[in-house]
Structure 1
Amino acid sequence: MSTIVAQDLEQFPCVELVNYYCPGGFHPVHLNDTFKNGRYRVVNKLGYGTYGTVWLVYDTILKQYSSLKILAAEVSDSHSEIAVIPHLQQHATGSGKEYVVEVFDVFQHTGPNGLHHCVVMEVLGPPISSDIEEIYPNEVFPIEVAKRISAQIAHGLAYIHTAGIVHGDLHMSNVLFHSPIISSWTSDNDFEKYLGSPTQGPLTLRGSDELAAPSPHIPSYLVFVNHPYFLLKLCLSDPTQIHVKICDFGEAFIPTMQLTSLPSRVIPIFYAAPEVIFGDPTGLPADIWALAVLIRYITSGVFLFSSLHGIPEEVIKSMVLTLGKLPERWWSRWEERSEWFNEGGEWWEDGVKIFPKSNGSRGKPKGGRGEMAKLNKIIKRMVRYDPEERVSIDEVIEWMNQNGWFVN
């Protein structure tokens, strides 16, 4: 089989893995395609991930724009998102709902590559991992903005935890900005002001200029994801009104609920709690660990546990330098420990440093030493090695309230 590629990838780099347009893979989508008996009309592309593509659609019944996520066929039956979303809607209680993406509809669609689960959600803005240099030149959120974003994420996570759900993949790319203006769009011209017109490109055979042969398994053309600058600028236009929402429940699970299969636990290694890295059973405390890393990054632009190459061994090393020796159940299983530490958990050359400072302006906290010292105290309680000893999300929010970290 010939390999297909997107033409002019340097010009249009934002495109999914096109080789996954095959039986069991992505569903081929074209502009103006409709789903669920004509209810949802495809208007533009919003994004993509490992297991699906995301499209801007117009709901012809509710007369509103929505986001349509179409999962790859081979993961649709086992994808935890389909089981978790109804459970969240039925069992989550209390405040914080406004900081979690709203889901409108879940349905199935049969295409040339198989049966696909589809999730219809509200339209959100870019992720908080977006390049903010044009808006904040030092590439770090101002401390008051960082505090507001962090508090909103915490309240959203608290809402999720009331349903006994572990999000399992809490990181910068799974928290998206929101603007009420998006909800007011009534025509295609409205969204084009911020998203631009749909950008299309052909598929060609790798290594040649020959177009890929027509096939029901691949789209006739690709739709690229436009740069989100104008939408990002809209969402950040008023620092006092910044609003974020947690999204993507693809790795979420309910420890007390038997799913078809367990989530793959592919959270980025920088955010992974030690029980996740070592493959032990996980629960709500794993989200608390990820939240600590997330808050630290939002407030400083630096990961709590560093790694030059983004590999588990380096992240674990950073954990030990920061928090001390791992519990024996993990220490004895970490084969690379002798490269850096003696059996007492001591660094061969330097002493252990708690929360070492980072070099460069990007790593300098913007909130003042006193405020960051307070933050470090709660973070240390959030990243205790023993999951049972970590603070709960309610305790994190209580600390935030006491220290002026409010959602508004």
Structure 2
Amino acid sequence: MSTVVVQDLEQFPRVELVNYYCPGGFHPVHLNDTFKNGQYRVINKLGYGSYGTVWLVYDTILKRYASLKILAAEVSDSYSEITVIQHLQQHATGSGKEYVVEIFDFFQHTGPNGLHHCIVMEVLGPPISSDIEKIYPDEAFPIEVAKRISAQISHGLAYIHTAGIVHGDLHMSNILLHSPIISSWTSDSDFEKYFGRPRQRPLTLLGTDELAAPSPHIPSYLVFVNNRNSLLKLCLSDPTQIHVKICDFGEAFIPTMQLTPLPPRGIPIFYAAPEVIFGDPSGLPADIWALAVLICYIIEGGFIFSSYRGIRKEVIKSMVLTLGKLPERWWFSWEERSEWFNEDGEWWKNGVKIFPKSNGSGGKPKGGGGEIATLNEITRRMIKYDPKERASIDEVIEWMNQNGWFVN
């Protein structure tokens, strides 16, 4: 097996930040490790993020496979994800539950790096941000598939909102494909066919060929996340049966419970509502803004508010070009405004007023003028500067029903 260095501050391809294996950080996991008194046995790695790692496990008691998310120790001390999920399970009502990831179990695990909260969930497919050009040559979802996915996400969000929960991180990577075939698999080999065999690389010391000395804080080897194009093909094999689920409540919060003074700010800048960008308290309407951006990306293939590499000031500039001058409290706190605008919100360059076209979304429309025109009707109601003026999720779904955007 080839080796990697333990001291590198960069993220290796398909592996988590190695230096976060330390007291307070990630829990070191090895294949065949067990958790919760042997109930969960580690089979493979499914993914990772800023807050933890995710593993494919086998439940030896219930005789089924599941996904195990192990949160970093320092995050677990103040983390509200489990509280939010428990609140969701107890208080969410109505339809849409089938478009939200199913949570099986919670427990705590003490390891060399601290106490870790653990969440056991159903096994899902890849995110809709995956390489769909492997399935669709034009690198975009067919319009009917895109409408179905958008409707399912909206119904899932409606279910979340009935519990008063703000998801807070609604974007392409947090919408996972689902196939009922996955839940029918009964052996490790079934999963290897689509998830690949575990790929391991031992750790070495920086600048040497020597294996890292054994340490309780770091794993003996890293497990890489495999390419899952075959799983993507499975989940998208029948356009009439495509099913997605909202996952990852790591940024979720409940405004009425004030679980945090202000919600976390981890959502990608392209999806962030202005109140989130400018640090104001936010609530359910912030999800509506993110949903509008998400739907437009799924349908049109581009962001409503464009920016080079997600630069904050350029996203705000795009907002102003698309929606007009920001409300005063944000306008005067935005220090870079004079790079493009005068104090009336007009775009000036070298003292000359110019009239740019609205950015709109950056993608190439693929559903025909009629589809895009009707989408713009609801989008305009979802991206109002004033959160109180934005459409509710129920209004979004009502519009979808009236325009033939159905979940099935």
**TM above 0.5, one fold?**
yes
Shift of 1:204: 1.3
Aligned to 1:194: 194
The answer to whether the 8 A contact 2:300-2:361 is kept is no
The equivalent of 2:275 in structure 1 is 275
Identity %, equivalent residues: 82
Q: Which residue of 1 aligns with 2:258?
A: 258
State the shift of 1:261 in Å. 6.3
CA 1:357 to 1:172, structure 2 compared with 1: closer, same or farther past 3 Å?
Answer: closer
What is the 5 A alignment of 1:1-400?
A: 4=6, 13-259=13-259, 262-348=262-348, 349-356=353-360, 358=362, 363-400=363-400
CA distance in 2, matches of 1:156, 1:184: 23
- Structure 1 residue 370: Cα displacement: 1.2
Stretch of structure 1 that moved more, 337-346 or 258-267: 258-267
Shift of 1:301: 1.2
Q: Deviations over 1:340-389 (max 9, x none)?
A: 0111111114325345464xxxx211110111011011101000000000
| Residues 110-141 of structure 1: per-residue CA shift (max 9 Å, x gap) | 00000000000000000111111111122111
Q: Which amino acid aligns with 2:240?
A: T
Tell me the SS of whatever aligns to 1:133: helix
Structure 2 unaligned residues grouped into runs of 5+: none
Which range is displaced more, 261-270 or 280-289?
261-270
AA aligned to 2:241 is: Q
How much does 1:263 deviate?
3.7
The 8 Å contact of residues 26 and 72 in structure 2, kept in 1 or not, is answered as yes
Q: Which shifted more, 258-267 or 64-73?
A: 258-267
| 3-state SS, counterpart of residue 107 of structure 1 | strand
Partner Cα distance (2:360, 2:45) in 1: 42
Contiguous gaps of at least 5 residues in structure 1? none
1:80–1:263 CA contact under 8 A, matched in 2: no
CA distance in 2, matches of 1:19, 1:230: 31
Q: Rate the CA distance shift 1:357–1:189 in 2: closer, same or farther, 3 A.
A: closer
Look up the SS of the partner of 2:45 in the other structure. Answer: strand
What is the letter of the counterpart of residue 44 of structure 1? N
Shift of 1:258: 3.1
Query: Following the alignment from structure 1 to structure 2, what is the Cα–Cα distance between the partners of residues 81 and 241?
Result: 30
Deviations 1:211-239, CA, capped at 9 Å, x for gaps: 21110101111111000111111000001
Q: Secondary structure at the match of 2:24?
A: coil
Q: 1:294-314: per-residue Cα shift (whole Å, max 9, x none)?
A: 001001110110001311100
Paired with 2:251 and 2:239, the residues of 1 have a C-alpha distance of: 31
Is this contact kept in 2: 1:324–1:352, CA < 8 A?
Answer: no
Deviation, 1:247, is 0.3
Following the alignment from structure 2 to structure 1, what is the Cα–Cα distance between the partners of residues 381 and 359?
Answer: 13
Q: Which string of whole-angstrom CA distances, capped at 9 and with x for unpartnered residues, describes residues 315-349 of structure 1?
A: 00000000011011111111111110111111114
Counterpart of 2:252, as a letter, is A
Cα deviation 1:67-101 (Å, max 9, x = unaligned): 00000000002112011010000000000000000
Distance 1:180 1:356 in 2: 37
Report the AA paired with residue 353 of structure 1: K
Contact 1:126 1:228 in 2 (8 A): yes
- 1:209 is displaced (CA, Å) by 2.1
* Secondary structure at 2:315 match in 1: helix
Number of equivalent positions? 399
Distance in 2 separating the partners of 1:240 and 1:383: 30
Structure 2 letter corresponding to 1:18: V
Q: Relative to structure 1, is the Cα distance of residues 200 and 301 closer, same or farther in structure 2, using a 3 angstrom cutoff?
A: same
- Asked if structure 2 preserves the Cα contact closer than 8 Å seen for 1:43 and 1:58, the reply is yes
* Matched-pair contact (CA < 8 Å) for 2:53–2:71: yes
Letter aligned with residue 4 of structure 1: V
| In structure 2, distance between residues paired with 1:57 and 1:309 | 36
| Residue-by-residue CA offset, 1:28-87 (whole Å, 9 max, x unaligned) | 001110000000000000000001000000001111000000000000021120110100
Q: How has the CA–CA distance of structure 1 residues 71 and 263 changed in structure 2, closer, same or farther, with 3 Å as cutoff?
A: farther
Look up the equivalent residue of 1:404 and give its one-letter code.
G
Structure 1: distance between partners of 2:92 and 2:357: 40
The answer to whether the 8 Å contact 1:78/1:261 transfers is no
Question: For residues 329 and 144 of structure 2, what CA distance do their matches in structure 1 show?
Answer: 40
Question: Is contact 2:306-2:361 (8 Å) kept?
Answer: no
Give the aligned CA root-mean-square deviation in angstroms.
1.5
Alpha-carbon deviation of 1:262? 4.6
Per-residue deviation, residues 187-218 of structure 1 (Å, max 9, x unmatched): 10110110111111111122332221110101
Contact kept in structure 1, 2:289 and 2:383, CA below 8 Å: yes
* Distance of 1:249 and 1:106 partners within structure 2: 14
**Secondary structure in 1 aligned to 2:108?**
strand
In the alignment, is the contact (CA less than 8 A) between 1:103 and 1:119 conserved in 2?
Answer: yes
Residue identity opposite 2:61 in structure 1: I
CA distance in 2, matches of 1:89, 1:221: 37
- Does structure 1 retain, via aligned residues, the 8 Å contact 2:305–2:361? no
Residue pair 1:322, 1:352 contacting (<8 A) in 2 also = no
- Shifted more, 336-345 versus 262-271: the winner is 262-271
Q: Structure 1: which 4+ aligned runs deviate by more than 6 Å?
A: none
Distance 2:166 2:385 in 1: 18
Residues 263, 281 of structure 2: 8 Å contact kept: no
